[in-house]
Structure 1
Amino acid sequence: MYKILLVDDEVNILEGIAAIVDWESCGTELSAKAQHGQMAFEIIMDQQPDIVVTDIKMPGLNGVQLIRKVHEIYPEIRFIVLSGHDEFEFAKTAMECNVKHYLLKPSNEQKIEKAVKEVVDDLDEEQARQAFLENMSEHLKKVMPKAKEQFLKDYITNKKYGVKDWEYYSQLFEIDTDTKEFYLLVIEMEDSYEYEHLLALKKIMVEEVGETYIPLETTIGDKIVILVELPSREVIIDKVKGAKQSFHSFYPMDYTVAISDLGSISQLRHLYNETLHCLTQRFYVSGGSIITPQDIKKDRSSMEELQYDHEDLIFAIRSGNQEVVQQYLDDFFSEVWKEKYAVSLFRSHCLELFMSMIRQADRKQMDDYFRQVILFQEYEKFHEMRSFIEKTANEISQYHYERTKQTQSTIINRVVEFVERNLADEDLSLSHIATEVLYMNSDYLGKLFKKEKGERFSSFLINRRIEKAIELFELSNQVKIFEVAEAVGFGNNPRYFGQVFKKHTGSTPSNYMKKEYKNL
C-alpha cells in the first residue's frame, strides 16, 4: 500500500479527514499526520511518503512552500491540495510541480477518496512502467530485438509516449541515427498467409533496405512497420521492388507497401495513420502495389459526394438495353477509378445502386439478390465490386430484354395473324391495326415490326399478297386475274395488281398462269 501524509493546521479538520476517509479501500495507509508545514517537511524527510494531502494556508511553512521544497528533493512524491481559496500563486506552483488535484474546502470523503484513487492509479501505472524498464534493462542484451520491436509498436500506438521517451529509449537501445526525419514503411499481405510468411517478408525487406538504414522495425497486427532513414522515397521504392523479387522467389504471394511522407519522430503516429490511409486505397489497385500519399492526394471538394442518381441506368435496365447499360457502367466506374473516392463512400453508394437495380427484378430474383448483400460487403477490391455490379445489372437487363422480346413477338404475331385473316381488305394498313386492333402508337408498332421481321410492314404486306396470289394461281388455271386481285387486297384494280405482280415475280399474271399450265 502507498503511504499517505495528511497535513492541516486545523486539528478538527485534520482528525476529521483522518477518521472519515477509507484509506485502505483506496489502496493506501495513513502513515502520519502533521499540524503545520515544517512538521510535514520533517516527516517527509524521515519517512518519504508516496502521497501528501495538504492544506495551503498554514503558519510558518505554508502549503505552496512545502510543495516547492519537497518537489526539489523528491519530485516523485504526489500532492493532493485542500484549500478554502482559489489562489493564483498555488496554480502556478501546481503547474511547475505537476500537482493535478486541487480540492476546495469543504470536501467530503467521496471527493477526497476519488482524488486519492486517481493518484494511486497514476502511481500504479508509473510503478508498472518503472518495473517494465528495470526488467527490460536486466534482460536487454537477450531480448534487445524484441524490445525494440515492442518499443516502436508502443510508441506508434500509445499516445502517452513523447519525444523525451524517444530520446530515453534511443539511448537505452543504442539506436544510432544521425537524421531527424524518417520515412515509414507499412506492409500488408494481400492473401491468406501464415505467420512465417510475415516474418520472412520482414526479414527480406530489412536485408534489402539495409539494417544500417533501419533504426527500428516491428509488426502491428497483420502489418509490418519499418522506420527508414534513406535519403529519398525513390531509393526506398527501388529497394522495395528488389525485396519483392526476392520474396516471390520463395513465396508466390502478393503484398501492398505504403510509404509515408518524410517526417520527424514527433510525427510518427501521423506518418503511421498516413500509411494506413494509403493502404485503404488497396481497394483500387492490384496486389503488389506501392502506394504513397502523393498517389491519393486530390482536391477533397471533388470527393465529398459521389453524385450519381442512376436514373438513366435503371431505365436502360428496364428497357433491356444491355449495350446502354454496359456503356453507362463503364463511364461510372471510370469516374470512380479516376477520382479514387473514399472506399466507404463508394461501397455505400454501390450498395444503394445494387438495391435500386434488384428492385427491377422479378420477385424470385429479388429474393435471391437480397441474399447476396452479405457477400457484397466482403469484396475488398475495386474490380470485384465492379464485376458484381455489372453482373447484376446485365442479368436483370437480360431478364427485361427477354420479357420485352417475348411481349413484342406476341404483338407482331397478332399483327401477322390479323393480316392473314384480312388479306382481301384493300384498306388494310399498319395504322388501322395499331389504332383499331392493338390500341397502340402506329410509329412504335412499325419499329417493333421491322425489328422483329427485318422489313417494313408495307413490304411485308405486299410480299404476302403476292405470295397469296401465286398460291391461288397454282390451285387452278381457270381462276380469273381480277378475282385473284380482289382476293389479295387489290380491290377492283387488276391493272395495278398486274404491275405489282410483275415487279415481284418478273412475269405478268397471265404469263405466269400460262407457264404454270404448261408445267402441269
Structure 2
Amino acid sequence: MLKLIIADDERVIRETISRLIDWESIGVEVVGLCKNGIEAYNMILDESPDIVMTDIRMPGLTGLELVREISQSDQRIQFIILSGYEDFEYAREAMKYGIRHYLLKPCNEEKIKESILKAGEDCREARRRLAEKEQQSLMTKTIRQDIVYHLLMDGISLKHEKDDGLKKRLAELEEFYGQYADFYQHPCRLYYVYFLEQQYLEKLLGRLRQNEDKSQKQNIFYGVYVKNTLLLFCYEALDTGGLKAECGEASDSVTVEESAYSTLLELLEAVLVRIRRYDTIYAIHNFKPISILNNQNILPHIQNIYLQLEKSKGDDAGKLCAELRLMAEGATQADFLKMLGSSICIHLPTIVACSSVEVAELMKEINQSEDIEQLRIMTADIISRIENELCLTGQEYGVLVDKVMAYVEEHLSDKNLTLKKIAEQHLYMNVDYVSRQFRRITGIKFSQYLSDQRVKRAKELLMDAGTGKIQYVAEQVGCGNNPQYFSQIFKKSVGVTPGKWASQMQNK
C-alpha cells in the first residue's frame, strides 16, 4: 500500500477528496488530512508518506514552502500540487523542485485518480531503483538471504492454526519482518520441482549455486523441500527451460511448474498452507537443506522468549537470556546453533536497537562457521549483549528510543532532521518500524517530540540571547531557514511568540 497525505486549508476539499475515490482498490491508504502546511510538515515527519497532495496556498507553510522543506531531506516523496488559475506561477516555481504532478481546481474524480496513479508509478520506480542499489550491498544480500528461512520457521511453528488464524499471524510476522524484506511491492514467482528424490537434491542445489555465483543479478532468494518436491521462490521470472535442463542434469524424472503471486506475503501463505502437513520439512538455506520441523516443539518457545524480551528489563530479562543460554549450551548440532544464533540476530533490532548492518555481519559470521564450539561462543556473546543492555539501569525508554533521542539532542540544529534520516542513515532500520516503536514507547509522535525539544532548547538560548537574536536562536534549533515555522511551534507550545517570551523573561 502506498501512503497518501492530503493537505488543504479548505475542509470541504480535503474531506471530499478523501471520500471521492476507493483508495484501497488502487493500492493507496490515506494516512492523514491536514488543514495547513505546518500540520502537513509534521505529519510527513511522522508517517513518511509516499505521496503528498497539497494545496499551493495554505497558512503556516504554503504548499511551495512545504515542497521546498521536504525536498531538501527526502527526494522520494511524490508531490501533487493543487492550485487555482491565479496560482499558476507558484506551481511553476514548484516544478523547480522536481514536481511532475499538477491539478487545477476544481478537479474531478477521474483527474485525481489519474494523477495518483501516475505518482504511484513514480513511487514504485523510485523504490525499484533504490532496491537495485541496495541489492549491490553485500550486507543487504546477506540479511535477505536469511530472512525467509526464519520467517518460514516462525510460520511452521504456527502449524496448528486454522487458515484464518495463519493469515492473521502471518500479518503479525510481516509487521516485524517487514523491516528486512519487501512483502507488498513486488510480484513473486514460485517454481515447483516435482519428483526430485532427496538423494538428488544436493546435486541440483550445487548446480543452482554455481549458476547463482556466475550471475550478476542474484534472483532466487529461497526454497523449501518436502517429500520429493522442491519449491523455489524468486522476484524475477526464471528461464523455465534452463531450470528444467538443470533439473534434468540432477535427475531425469523431474518436472517443473510455475505459479505467480502478486506479493511475497501471498506466496508465503500459499507455501505454508501446503507444507505444514508434512512431518519433515527442509529449508534451503545457503543452498543447503536444513531440517526445521525437527525443532517444532522448541520454535514456539523461542519465539515467545523474543516477544517477552521486547518488553522486559532487569531480572526478568536476565531470566529469559538464561533460557536462551541454556539452549545454546545444550545444543549438540551445528545446524541448530546456526538457527538459534541467526534467529536471535534477526530479533536484535526489536530488543537492543542493533542496526541491520550489524545484524548482517553477525549472521554472516554464524552462517560461515561449521565449528560447533565456535558457534556456541558466538551465540553466547550475542545473548550476553542482550543481557547487558536490558539489565542496564537508567534507561527510561529503552535502547531504540534512547538512540533516537540522543541523535536529536546532538543534531537539533540540522534543518533537515527527520525520523526517516535517523532511521535509515544512523540506525539503518525501517522508518515505519522506528516510528511505531517511538510512539508506542513514548506515547507521542516523533514530530511532537522534535518540536518540544526545539522549544526547550530555544528557551535556553533566548534566556541568554534575548529578543535581538531570534534568527540566531531559530538557526540553532533547526528552523533558521523558516523563522515563521519556528515562531508557530514556539507559540503553539508556550502561548506567546519567542520575542514576547524573551521580553517577559528579561523583565522578571
Q: TM-score normalised by the shorter chain: which range applies?
A: under 0.3
Which protein shows a greater Rg?
Answer: 1
Q: State the structure with bigger RCO (CA 8 A, min sep 6), 1 or 2.
A: 2
TM-score between both structures, scaled by the size of structure 2: 0.27
TM-score between both structures, scaled by the size of structure 1: 0.27
